[in-house]
Amino acid sequence: MALSVLLAVLAAAANATASVLQRKGAREAPSEGAFSFGLLWTLAKQPAWIGGITAIAVGFGLQAAALATGPILLIQPILVVELAFTLVLSSAVFHSRLHAREWSAVLGMSAGVAVLLVAFSPSGGDPHGAGALAWAVGCAATVAVTGTLVVLGRRSHHARRAAFLGVATGVWFGFTAALVAGMTSAANAGVAEALGAWQTYSLLVAGPLGFLLLQEALRAGRLVASQPGLTLSNPLASVGWGVGVFGETVRSGPWIVAEIAGAALIAACTVLLARSPLLQGSQGESEQPGAEPECVRDV
């Protein structure tokens, strides 16, 4: 389990690096309109964006290794520390100052996830052995939720647009994590099993779609608008997959109180960060190097 935790933390750090570097590269591209191959070519000319793509590949490899050695209910919630890494890196790269409000929310989220992990103490489950009906329901629910969030995002602007798309991306990443878990579980039975698993080939579609969705979220607004929803919806979606589809078990009885408390702490801190002045008005449009948000300067 210790190795799984270490791999998950390293994956979170790599994902945070990818988000910041891609956002830095995406700032040079138009922020309006759908993601296109022409825009992809423009982004590919940005060294920072290329570095972000490299970090994504590293993060995916670390996450796959973690999921191969531990249950999805253990691995995915740990990825919430990606938010802390992202905020620190974003502050350094974009020269923006984070305040007590943001740091308190991040620490509270991390504490909430820690409580959840201890209370859950996940065990059991077999992604490769999950029934076809369970997989079908999970896939359908994921597509429906993600599609709804994308539509809401497209109808919104600036911080709200980034927030909706960030949540949509996180839900989709939770889905890809489930596919990776299914693939690695099949691989434990041999290479032939992995090559014959439908999850392996579904990743060839789900992976690029998640990549394109991530680009939309990163171009929609500030990282502090898109990253919280992206980071938190990923493990929350994975909880649904772990319990509802893979048959992983969590502790019940008195531990339910701790589980509710952990979830409530995460929710409260999410609301606190969502109401931050950094997400309001024109501050939600884009990072401005060296610029202090007006609402902060006026205080």
Query: In sequence order, what are the residues at sequence separation of 6 or more whose Cβ sits closer than 8 angstroms to the Cβ of residue 202?
Result: 179
Output the pLDDT for position 291: 44
Query: In sequence order, what are the residues at sequence separation of 6 or more whose Cβ sits closer than 8 angstroms to the Cβ of residue 250?
Result: 73, 119, 120, 121, 122, 243, 259
Kindly report the average pLDDT of the chain as a whole number: 79
pLDDT band at 285 (very low <50, low <70, confident <90, very high): very low
Residue 294 scores a pLDDT above 50: no
- Write the DSSP symbol of residue 243: I
Least confident range from 25-34, 143-152, 173-182: namely 25-34
Count of structural domains, the chain = 1
Output the pLDDT for position 252: 85
Residue 104 scores a pLDDT above 80: yes
Kindly list the distances between the CA atom of residue 174 and the CA atoms of 47, 180, 279, in Å, as whole numbers in the listed order: 28, 10, 25
Looking up tokens 């997400």 gives: 279
Output the pLDDT for position 225: 74
Residue 100 lies in a domain: yes
Output the pLDDT for position 114: 83
Residue 155 lies in a domain: yes
Mean pLDDT over residues 200-210, rounded?
92
Output the pLDDT for position 124: 76
Residue 40 scores a pLDDT above 90: no
Residue 212 lies in a domain: yes
The residue with greater pLDDT, 119 or 80, is 119
Mean pLDDT over residues 88-97, rounded?
74
Output the pLDDT for position 110: 80
The residue with greater pLDDT, 110 or 9, is 9
Residue 130 scores a pLDDT above 60: yes
Residue 289 scores a pLDDT above 50: no
Residue 288 lies in a domain: no
The residue with greater pLDDT, 11 or 273, is 11
Residue 259 lies in a domain: yes
Domain span at residue 243 reads 2-276
Mean pLDDT over residues 87-92, rounded?
75
Residue 85 lies in a domain: yes
Mean pLDDT over residues 77-99, rounded?
76
List residues bridging with 123 in a β-sheet. Answer: 249
- Write the DSSP symbol of residue 280: S
Residue 144 scores a pLDDT above 50: yes
Residue 236 lies in a domain: yes
- Write the DSSP symbol of residue 249: B
Residue 87 scores a pLDDT above 80: no
Mean pLDDT over residues 246-254, rounded?
88
Output the pLDDT for position 275: 63
The residue with greater pLDDT, 4 or 137, is 137
Q: Which long-range contacts (CB under 8 A, 24 or more apart) does 288-291 make?
A: 288/94, 289/94, 289/95, 290/95, 291/96
